[in-house]
Chain A
Amino acid sequence: MAAIFQGLGAATALSPSNCFDSNKLHFSSRRSLSGRKASFFVVRSDGSVNFASNSRDHRAQQMITNAVATKADNSAASTKAGHELLLFEALREGLEEEMDRDPHVCVMGEDVGHYGGSYKVTRGLADKYGDLRVLDTPIAENSFTGMGIGAAMTGLRPIVEGMNMGFLLLAFNQISNNCGMLHYTSGGQFTIPIVIRGPGGVGRQLGAEHSQRLESYFQSIPGIQMVACSTPYNAKGLMKAAIRSENPVILFEHVLLYNLKEKIPDEEYICNLEEAEMVRPGEHVTILTYSRMRYHVMQAAKTLVNKGYDPEVIDIRSLKPFDLHTIGNSIKKTHRVLIVEECMRTGGIGASLTAAITENFHDYLDAPIVCLSSQDVPTPYAGTLEEWTVVQPAQIVTAIEQLCQ
């Protein structure tokens, strides 16, 4: 058993050179785990444990399958027509479709044009649409972000790329005072249909400044909507939805997820910006996560399923506003919540989520909410220290075991 999980762990360890193929993983895990005949126990919300009989083997198998399915309809998509893409290619495809659809859509940022973007999200777009629609800007984050806002106020739909999300700290004033507040202070006269996007999160030893999770800084700006993508499917869908939204939207991408591979539908689709994604339905505990931590959670979920737990995993996707509908329904079912995030512990998304759940669903909780976050340290360079900074799958397993005791 342990060997199998180590193997899977290696497959999910994401690095730029190592593509993560969710479909392949899905298939192989089903094959390796479905033969399992061990007895299966169910932990109820009241803490009592029931051992499943052999007659319920079928259900156990179903749940094990779910543990690694990234999305319910992905398995369906894999049998139908579709095309396989890496996450950065999916973002690019979404961008290109919207630029084809609407000539007001334009891109601006550092090295987005001739260079194709630091993570190649805009590769080839300058050749297709010209230098003005895919505008290489000087290194002046505050000013080109403000320029994007001015352009958005007067009819364009710009996508501003932060070469690294951390650089957007230099544009904080524009994002806060103008992007976020201007619709309100103008009495609703001006809208700012801008998308601000870029790679963030803890990468592979990028050092403190390039490993930031800015969602916690941006979340209290009024008027800003925030989404985090985690699969090629939702990356494309959210990109398109963000471009079409009249709200200023910050789209968070993760440096370690750009090379994730998935088959996505050939036909056009968009995702709902305000909707959480049910990754794995379950009964015992609700795990709320987003972005890269989704994969750490799914790794932990496999261990947990084998230990007899049935966690419900939700990728909250919409970091602001929270989809309290989906989250609430899950809590009413499981009565227990674990939040797993890459954000900082103090004042992070998890902290806000904890507050929102306590406020709205306190009566449904059977145990205090547990929140696993990154340590409150500047992300260290050394690999070992960096690993201890962010939440690891083993910690998630332990937390669930304690939460469900």
Chain B
Amino acid sequence: MSSSTFSSMNTIKSSCFTTENHSLNPSSIIPTSSFLVSTHKLRFNTPTANSPPCFIKNRQTHIVAVSDVKQKQLKSTPSVGNLLITKEEGLELYEDMILGRTFEDMCAQMYYRGKMFGFVHLYNGQEAVSTGFIKLLKQQDCVVSTYRDHVHALSKGVPAREVMSELFGKTTGCVRGQGGSMHMFSKEHNLIGGFAFIGEGIPIATGTAFTSKYNREVLKQADCDHVTLAFFGDGTCNNGQFFECLNMAALWKLPIVFVVENNLWAIGMSHERATSDPEIWKKGPAFGMPGVHVDGMDVLKVREVAKEAVARARRGDGPTLIECETYRFRGHSLADPDELRDPSEKAHYAARDPITALKKYMIENKLAGEAELKAIEKKIDELVEEAVEFADASPHPDRSQLLQNVFADPKGFGIGPDGRYRCEDPKFTQGTAHV
């Protein structure tokens, strides 16, 4: 992955970045400049025009993806390895996307069957973004998600049975039934969380990226090159926290990638009606970071863009804003009657289903046969089926669980010297227990 790939897109590069050493050698990550960044000299490249049709009417630019550029470059140098992915990578991506789709379809079934309640936001149609980005990460890298977080959790490696069990409100859920659909967390997999309010996850993500920088520069952990991905939607991009954090992340060159999943609708508010300039990627350059617009229905294009952005963050070169133009195949949540979206718009994106597209690519390029892909689908069906059985069989939380985890500190309010929660001590609420 060379820097030329990136600079040939609609990106801004800062001249103060060192471009000679792009390896992941930790020594190259330690910035040589002082903490305060120098003034950026910005170079703006106008995007190329060959791109798939775009549904946003006010777009002046068209969808551009690194993969277009890259394929062209590759074609000029004849070789057999003219593909964007290996067979193994392709199968991994396919499996992850199938998992996301099958899991969400099962959620809808279970919701209508009365197994889960509340607001359940499904990810159908957007799988290319989650898979394209998260499958590039290491376990130590952080993912910060939104209320539409099931599939991000799955891509990051949280077992499907734990996510399903959480949705069922059972103790075996990934957060013991205390979080629910919009609050998935996994410390083990560095899923920093599902954040249920618009925009509130972005500052948290900025904080986890700050920790990476702090570990490297203050605690001198030279090998700490952890990257944070912050996912959010088009509606969030009109929220102050988005702008505030773009500023801070660029200011301190934090290792973070801001991933906008622009599915064109914020519940019933169309992106066009809500946003003065609908091209979100343009806000990156305004803050001194690259802004990229990519076809979010094409996992290979997403993956190429993500590779470069993640590598850039890992090198210590700072944040990137990536707008993935995608579409949700279902309503905002399972409670949404979905009456406003035009059937022709839905049909347009349904025809560009990211899973079908990857399947086609793999078969056409002889990366996999129909039978192989069918086997994956069958495997995932069984896995999701097993997740439901597991969730169904798991116990509901005990009453004693109610007051656990309110406070964390064993020295303080939460847990007494005997290791039991203070709230369990009847004398505590009577004020007779010694604190």
Given A130-B35, A184-B405, A323-B435, the answer on whether A147 and B200 have CB atoms closer than 8 Å is no
- A208 interface residue (CB < 8 Å to B): no
Contact, CB under 8 Å: A146 / B414: no
B186: CB under 8 A from chain A?
yes
Describe B's contact surface by its main secondary structure: loop
* Known contacts A142-B240, A154-B142; is-contact A246 B405 (Cβ 8 Å): no
B98 at the interface (CB under 8 A from A): no
Q: Contact string, B185-212, partner A, CB cutoff 8 A, digits 1/0?
A: 1110000110111001011111111111
For residue B80, CB closer than 8 A to chain A, the reply is no
Q: Which size bracket describes the interface of B in this complex?
A: 35 or more
User: Is A247 touching B413 in the complex (CB atoms < 8 A)?
Assistant: yes
Q: Which of B36, B207, B244, B430 makes the CB contact (< 8 A) with A140?
A: B244
Contacts of A354 in B (CB 8 A): none
Q: Is the CB of B214 within 8 A of A225?
A: no
Cα A246 to Cα B218 in complex, Å, equals: 22
A106 to B, closest residue via Cβ: B214
Q: Which of A61-69, A173-181, A229-237, A281-289 contacts B (4 or more CB under 8 A)?
A: A173-181
A274 at the interface (CB under 8 A from B): yes
Q: Give A182's nearest chain B residue, CB to CB.
A: B193
Q: Which residues of A contact B408 (CB under 8 A)?
A: 183, 188, 191-193, 246-247
B176 contacts which chain A residues (CB < 8 A)? 187-188
Docked complex Cα distance between A135 and B145 (Å): 26
Given A153-B208, A185-B178, A274-B435, verify A146-B203 contact (CB < 8 Å).
yes
- Chain A nearest CB, measured from B253 CB (Å): 11
Task: Give the contact stretch, choosing among A29-37, A81-89, A255-263, A324-332.
Answer: A324-332
Q: Which of A187, A193, A225 meets B174, CB within 8 Å?
A: A187
A191-B408, A245-B412, A325-B432 are known contacts. Are A150 and B200 too (CB-CB below 8 A)?
A: no
Complex Cα gap A188–B421 (Å): 13
A186/B431 in contact, CB under 8 A:
no
Whether A177 touches B406, Cβ cut-off 8 Å, given contacts A131-B35, A189-B175, A247-B413, is: no
* In the complex, A275 has a CB within 8 A of chain B: yes
Does B55 interact with chain A (Cβ within 8 Å)?
A: no
User: In the complex, A146→B193 CA distance in Å?
Assistant: 13
Decide: A151 near B207, CB < 8 A? Known: A137-B248, A143-B245, A361-B431. yes
B186 & A189 in contact (Cβ 8 Å cutoff)? yes
User: A177–B144 Cα gap in the complex (Å)?
Assistant: 15
Task: Check A184–B411 contact: CB distance below 8 A.
Answer: no
Asked if A149 lies at the interface with its beta carbon under 8 angstroms from chain B, I say yes
Distance A223 CA – B409 CA, assembled complex (angstroms): 10
Q: Counting chain A CB atoms within 10 Å of each CB, which of B35, B202, B204, B212 scores highest?
A: B204
Closest-by-CB residue of B relative to A131 is B35
Chain B hits for A137, CB < 8 A: 248
Question: A156 in the interface, Cβ–Cβ < 8 Å?
Answer: yes
Cross-chain contact B214 with A185 (CB below 8 angstroms)? no
Q: Is A154 a contact partner of B247 (Cβ separation < 8 A)?
A: no
Please name the residue on chain B nearest to A129 by beta carbon.
B218
**Does chain A have a CB within 8 A of B410?**
yes
B192 & A225 in contact (Cβ 8 Å cutoff): no
What's the minimum C-beta distance from A151 to chain B, rounded to whole angstroms?
Answer: 4
For residue A115, CB closer than 8 A to chain B, the reply is no
A-B contact pairs, 16 of them (CB 8 A): A137-B248, A143-B241, A146-B204, A147-B206, A150-B203, A156-B211, A173-B197, A177-B200, A183-B406, A184-B405, A185-B178, A189-B186, A190-B192, A246-B412, A247-B409, A323-B435
Among all A-B residue pairs, the 10 with the closest Cβ atoms: A150-B207, A146-B203, A324-B431, A187-B175, A143-B244, A186-B185, A140-B244, A187-B176, A150-B204, A188-B405
In the complex, given contacts A146-B200, A150-B207, A245-B411, what are 15 additional A-B residue pairs having Cβ atoms less than 8 angstroms apart? A132-B213, A133-B214, A140-B247, A143-B203, A145-B203, A147-B204, A152-B207, A153-B192, A153-B207, A154-B192, A186-B183, A187-B173, A190-B187, A191-B408, A321-B413
B interface list, Cβ under 8 A from A: 35-36, 142, 144, 173-179, 183, 185-187, 192-193, 195-197, 200, 202-215, 217-219, 240-241, 244-245, 247-248, 251, 404-414, 429-435
What is the interface of chain A, defined by CB distance below 8 A to chain B?
Answer: 103-104, 106, 130-133, 137-138, 140, 142-156, 173-174, 177-178, 182-193, 222-223, 225, 244-247, 272-275, 321, 323-325, 327-328, 356, 360-361
